[in-house]
Amino acid sequence: MLKANNDGKEITFRFNSLQVLSKTPTLLSLEELVEIEKQSSEDELSEQELELTPIATSFHSGCLIHAPYNQLIIVGGCFDEDDEWYEEESCTNEVMSFNYMENKWKLLFSRVLNDDESTSTTVEESDTNNVQEQISHINISSDEQYLERIVQSPIIQQSSSTAERRSNTPPRIWGHSCSYSPLTRSLYVFGGINYHDEYNEHLFSFSLDRREWKKIDAQKDSSMEELPCGRQGHRTVYIPSIHKMVLFGGFSSSHLDDFCEFDVRNNTWSRVEEDPAFLMNRPSCREVFSMIYAENRNSIIIFGGKTEDERYSDLREFSLTTRRWTLLYQGKIKKTNHNGNTKKVTKLFKDIPSERSSHTAVYLENYQKMIILSGYDGEEWFCDCYEFDFNTMQWDGIKLETKDLPDTDREIFTKGFSSHVAEFNNITNEMLVFGGWDGEIDSNILFSIKIPSYHSVAMKFKLLSMNDLFSDVSIHCNEH
């Protein structure tokens, strides 16, 4: 039960009884998971729905998908090299899903040993890579026609060989991006870096229906001199109305500020058209920032991020309608501490977020608000939370009250964390947050911020952990 004041009136919020959503995982050895991967090419897909909890990772990517899947998807990430599950690598390419209607984790794709093995290209692979090219020459007037073409394609219906599966699977990576297209019912994963510090320059798609990866033979139009280079720390968002995935920034040999879009209908990259009169409001080169798409504003919003020497707290918006950049909040610049000293101190509560990177942001469509959670400023890992109201164009702090938590639960929050995934579910009205790094260990904790339909005067935290810990944390917002 939560209490909040609104215009002098005390309002009480009551919530349903608690549920345990995440249980202790089934521990499998590397050999067992490899055997599962081999078997998956022979068995029905439904038999591969293993109930597991993801390993503790950070710098993974993810997205939230509604009907018919109702899933939070987590892809890849890096983890503690001392983990006994993994003897050689420190990152993964597994695909995990959390069904928020059933409160269950499932393994959709297990890692394969394709990074250092030579594989041959098969006829089937060559044909499959040409499917999108074949479809692009057909006059498609609706999403339904596009999906019908894919389903009816005899090439798509062919089963993949083991060699093809390996060559079409992304390497074990971290720092990549992931977006979901409802048109193709596929995830799109770009960039990232592997355990050899090599950048992935390829774009991969993962079909949720077939549970198969495919390396995309991407093209570029005349607006681009070359395809986007391999990188990490970039961000992508998907725009359903135009069936395009938009990419900004990241880090390769240097920090980047390229702004381009990928059309899933013809597998073509192009540069995003920008009004030259408003380029002074454009974000500078940066990585590990947050980028969200606000559908009711038809705009892309970028906050924070970093370069080698600086971290930012600026807030900028790009209108897909006017093609103009707008500076919503100037923010400040923090010089990076290069002496190697970091401190783990809980930030004092305030109303405006400080400079940070590796945080997350979600957009609350019905509230017209953006929520910023946690992050890192080169010295401290944060456990703070803020909202930006697009009606008032003002920041407001959200205070996390953890005094009623058991000591073990409280420690999880007060340590702070970064490099996690956060998605807002507008059906269940909650923000799902998974994993991250607290400066010492990676996490596989899934928790939710339940937002009452009344207002963001008060919120409720539910902690979902591997050890069946499930606790409440009150979050109170200041009213102005």
Tell me the pLDDT tens digit for each residue of 50-72.
567 788 899 999 999 998 899 99
Per-residue pLDDT, 464: 41
DSSP labels for 13-73? E--PPP-----PPPP--HHHHHHHHHHHTTS-GGGG-B--PPPPBBS-EEEEE-TTT-EEE
**Tens of pLDDT, residues 442-466:** 988 887 777 765 443 344 444 443 3
Per-residue pLDDT, 386: 93
- Whether the bond into 68 is cis, omega within 30 of 0: yes
Is 409's pLDDT higher than 50?
Answer: yes
Is 372's pLDDT higher than 90?
Answer: yes
**Neighbouring C-beta atoms of residue 71, cutoff 10 Å:** 24
Is 123's pLDDT higher than 70?
Answer: no
Pairing of the two strands 333-335 and 310-319 = antiparallel
Per-residue pLDDT, 282: 98
**Tens of pLDDT, residues 303-348:** 999 999 999 999 999 999 999 999 999 999 999 876 655 554 444 4
Q: Tokens 């202790």 identify what position?
A: 24
Average pLDDT, the chain: 76
Query: How many Å separate Cα 425 from the centre of its chain?
Result: 13
Measured distance CA(236)–CA(291) in Å, rounded: 7
> Which among 272, 290, 480 is positioned nearest to 389, based on CA atoms?
480
> Which among 28, 108, 37, 125 is positioned nearest to 73, based on CA atoms?
108
Quick check: 208 and 185 in contact, CB under 8 A? yes
Q: Which amino acid is at 290?
A: S
Instruction: Classify the C-alpha dihedral 152-158-163-166 as positive or negative.
Output: positive
Q: Which amino acid is at 118?
A: S
Is 25's pLDDT higher than 50?
Answer: no
Question: Residue 441: pLDDT band by 50, 70, 90 thresholds?
Answer: confident
Measured distance CA(31)–CA(80) in Å, rounded: 19
**Residues 6+ positions from 321 with CB-CB distance below 8 Å:** 298, 299
Q: What is the mean pLDDT of residues 365-381?
A: 93
Measured distance CA(319)–CA(308) in Å, rounded: 29
pTM: 0.78
**Residue 250 C-beta-side C-alpha neighbours within 13 Å:** 28
Percent helix, percent strand, percent coil in the chain, to nearest 5: 15, 40, 45
**Tens of pLDDT, residues 175-216:** 999 999 999 999 999 999 998 889 999 999 999 999 999 999
- Which SS3 state, helix, strand or coil, does residue 180 take? strand
**Residue 8 C-beta-side C-alpha neighbours within 13 Å:** 0
Measured distance CA(395)–CA(351) in Å, rounded: 6
DSSP labels for 65-134? E-TTT-EEEEEEEE--TT-TT-SS-SEEEEEEEEETTTTEEEEEE---S-SSS--PPPHHHHHHHTHHHH
Per-residue pLDDT, 158: 43
Most confident of 145-149, 163-167, 315-319, 411-415: 315-319
Task: Point out which residues pair with 466 in neighbouring strands.
Answer: none
Is 236's pLDDT higher than 60?
Answer: yes
Q: What percent of the chain has pLDDT over 90?
A: 51
**Neighbouring C-beta atoms of residue 351, cutoff 10 Å:** 13
